[in-house]
């Protein structure tokens, strides 16, 4: 039966991407959002003091700017503007030194220990040369033959290794190993796990190709640009509308869930087969995050002021320290020195804070659903690399994994990846059906489908294409 009407539950980037893909092909689309504001974790709000704009989830977008789908949309005509920091990433160390990933490989290696300059260049060069082909395949389902097999072989062989092992094999200097470990830790799995190198390779290569930009005015402006374009195509969006059962929706040819797998099962109920529901129950949650947002009286006083050139800063002294932190989060343990991912967007976007003031946020990975307050541990970790940081704090907002899940159920247990990014769950995500379910009119399009977490819209776009194919487009 032709696909003429569709409902989308959830207005995150993936839900909007599914809606846009369908609307571009003439499908009548309705989007339903539980909260009063759009975007889920891709949104911006004043949550500390008046005039301080904080990104509630995503803030730097290395996969957003290189997403083939987002790049195909006229979002600049709907208010989107990317801002490139002076450098994509800084990684400081306690001795006051720092490594920076620059857009230029030459500029990057110039800061590295002399014996490692050739190592980094040889490491990233194959991925940079084949970046468009690698990204095209990585942002589509891995279940099946790649469109660019040679490029994917070059990527997959090192990507399949545990990040700790690849880092030790490629680099001898401890700072270089920590630099790669910090990028790999975005995978939110132990660095001893197979496949944990993939994210590290992707993010390192993105720094030298498409960058790690932020959005002018806040992450929410990406959502608003997508929503504006969708409305220009005739799509309708309703906020403050929680869908608790399929009966709450108007009749349609298909329904798309930009939700967790738990919400898909709860809302759909008997519309899904018991066998499919059982397979969803085997889908493993990843760790959660504990997040801090700060209103600051000035820029962060890094020991190495070069860190002010980057919007994104990784805080972990060594590969071993970062690996312990990620292992503890995944397996339910504790660490007194968590690996911290920090973003300082107001250095490059003055609209985020009153004149002379700044915003920053940071998070560490924690066991799924954790309610424990990590404020002291995170701020102590920042102080290691930026003494006097606490003196600048005007206000803070702390969010545990449990609190994030309550605010946005799509972040089930505080898991920002939509499910653990293990090798199996990167391929079979969340089941062998991928976006399809046991019901031909119900589709999953959230980060719990390929290619997984990150703001890129490809989960929604891919799901919509599958549905269009199923319905004869």
- For the chain, the structural domain boundaries read 5-46+217-283+418-470
Q: Where are the beta strands (DSSP E) in 126-253?
A: 214-215, 236-238
Q: How confident is the model at residue 410 (pLDDT cuts 50, 70, 90)?
A: confident
- 45-54, 108-117, 377-386, range with the lowest pLDDT: 108-117
Q: Has residue 15 got a pLDDT over 70?
A: yes
Digit-coded pLDDT (tens) for 426-452: 999 999 999 999 999 999 999 999 999
Q: Dihedrals φ, ψ of 205, to 5°?
A: -70, -40
pLDDT of residue 473: 64
pLDDT of residue 334: 87
Q: Has residue 472 got a pLDDT over 80?
A: no
402 CB neighbour count, 10 Å cutoff: 18
Digit-coded pLDDT (tens) for 234-290: 999 999 999 999 999 999 999 999 999 999 999 999 999 999 999 999 999 999 999
pLDDT of residue 58: 86
Average pLDDT, the chain: 96
pLDDT of residue 146: 87
Rounded to an integer, the average pLDDT of 127-153 is 91
Torsional class of 144: left (φ above 0), alpha (ψ -120 to 50), beta (otherwise)? left
10 close to 43: Cβ distance less than 8 angstroms = no
92 close to 385: Cβ distance less than 8 angstroms = yes
Q: Has residue 1 got a pLDDT over 90?
A: no
Rounded CA Rg of the chain: 21
Cα–Cα distances (Å) from 178 to 77, 447, 461, in that order, read 40, 28, 35
Q: Which CATH architecture group holds 5-46+217-283+418-470?
A: 3-Layer(bba) Sandwich (3.50)
Rounded to an integer, the average pLDDT of 82-108 is 97
Residue with the two structure tokens 């085997």: 282
Q: What is the DSSP string of 311-347?
A: EEEEE-SSHHHHHHHHHHHHHT---SS--EEEE-GGG
Taking the C-alpha atoms of residue 106 and residue 104, their distance in angstroms, rounded to an integer, is 5
Rounded to an integer, the average pLDDT of 71-84 is 97
Q: Has residue 38 got a pLDDT over 80?
A: yes
Q: Which of 18, 456, 4 is nearest to 257 (CA)?
A: 18
Cis peptide bond prior to 428, omega within 30° of 0? no
Three-class SS of 139-165: CCCCCCCCCCHHHHHHHHHHHCCCHHH
Angle at 189 between CA 185 and CA 193, to 5 degrees: 105
200 close to 193: Cβ distance less than 8 angstroms = no
Decide: helix, strand or coil at residue 201: helix
Decide: helix, strand or coil at residue 370: coil
Digit-coded pLDDT (tens) for 155-182: 999 999 999 999 999 999 999 999 999 9
What is residue 229's DSSP assignment?
A: H
Taking the C-alpha atoms of residue 430 and residue 51, their distance in angstroms, rounded to an integer, is 40
C-alpha 434, offset from chain centre: 19
């Amino acid at each position: 039966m032709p696909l003429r009407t569709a409902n989308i539950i959830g207005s995150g980037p993936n839900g909007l991407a599914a809606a846009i893909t369908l609307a571009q092909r003439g499908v009548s689309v309705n989007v339903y959002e539980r909260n009063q504001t759009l975007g889920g974790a891709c949104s911006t709000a004043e949550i500390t003091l008046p005039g301080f704009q904080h990104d509630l989830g995503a803030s730097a977008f290395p996969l957003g700017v290189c997403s083939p789908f987002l790049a195909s949309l006229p979002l600049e005509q709907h208010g989107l503007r990317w801002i490139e920091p002076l450098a994509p990433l800084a990684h400081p160390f306690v001795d006051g030194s720092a490594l920076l990933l620059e857009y230029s490989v030459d500029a990057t290696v110039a800061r590295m220990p002399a014996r490692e300059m050739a190592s980094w260049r040889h490491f990233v060069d194959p991925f940079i040369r084949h970046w468009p082909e690698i990204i095209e395949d990585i942002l589509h389902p891995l279940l099946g033959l790649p469109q660019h097999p040679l490029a994917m072989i070059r990527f997959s062989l090192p990507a399949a290794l545990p990040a700790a092992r690849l880092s030790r094999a490629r680099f001898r200097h401890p700072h270089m190993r920590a630099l790669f470990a910090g990028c790999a830790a975005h995978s939110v799995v132990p660095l001893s796990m197979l496949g944990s190198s993939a994210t590290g390779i992707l993010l390192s290569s993105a720094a030298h190709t498409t960058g790690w930009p932020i959005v002018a005015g806040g992450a929410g402006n990406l959502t608003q640009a997508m929503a504006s374009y969708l409305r220009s195509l005739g799509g309708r969006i309703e906020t403050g509308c929680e869908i608790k059962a399929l009966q709450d929706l108007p009749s349609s040819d298909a329904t798309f869930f930009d939700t967790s797998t738990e919400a898909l099962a709860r809302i759909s109920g008997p519309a899904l087969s018991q066998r499919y529901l059982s397979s969803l129950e085997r889908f493993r949650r990843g760790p959660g995050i504990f997040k801090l947002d700060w209103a600051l009286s000035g820029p962060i006083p890094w020991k190495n002021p070069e860190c002010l050139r980057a919007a994104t800063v990784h805080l972990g002294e060594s590969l071993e320290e970062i690996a312990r932190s990620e292992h503890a989060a995944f397996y339910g343990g504790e660490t007194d020195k968590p690996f911290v991912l920090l973003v300082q967007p107001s250095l490059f976007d003055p609209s985020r804070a009153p004149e002379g003031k700044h915003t920053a946020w940071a998070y560490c990975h924690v066991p799924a659903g954790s309610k424990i307050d990590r404020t002291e541990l995170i701020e102590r970790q920042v102080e290691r690399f930026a003494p006097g940081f606490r003196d600048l704090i005007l206000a803070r907002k702390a969010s545990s994994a449990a609190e994030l899940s309550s605010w946005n159920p799509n972040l089930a247990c505080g898991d920002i990846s939509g499910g653990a990014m293990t090798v199996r769950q990167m391929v079979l995500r969340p089941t062998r059906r991928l976006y399809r379910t046991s019901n031909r009119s119900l589709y999953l399009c959230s980060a719990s489908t390929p290619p997984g977490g990150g703001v890129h819209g490809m989960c929604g776009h891919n799901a919509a294409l599958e549905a269009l194919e199923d319905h004869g487009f």
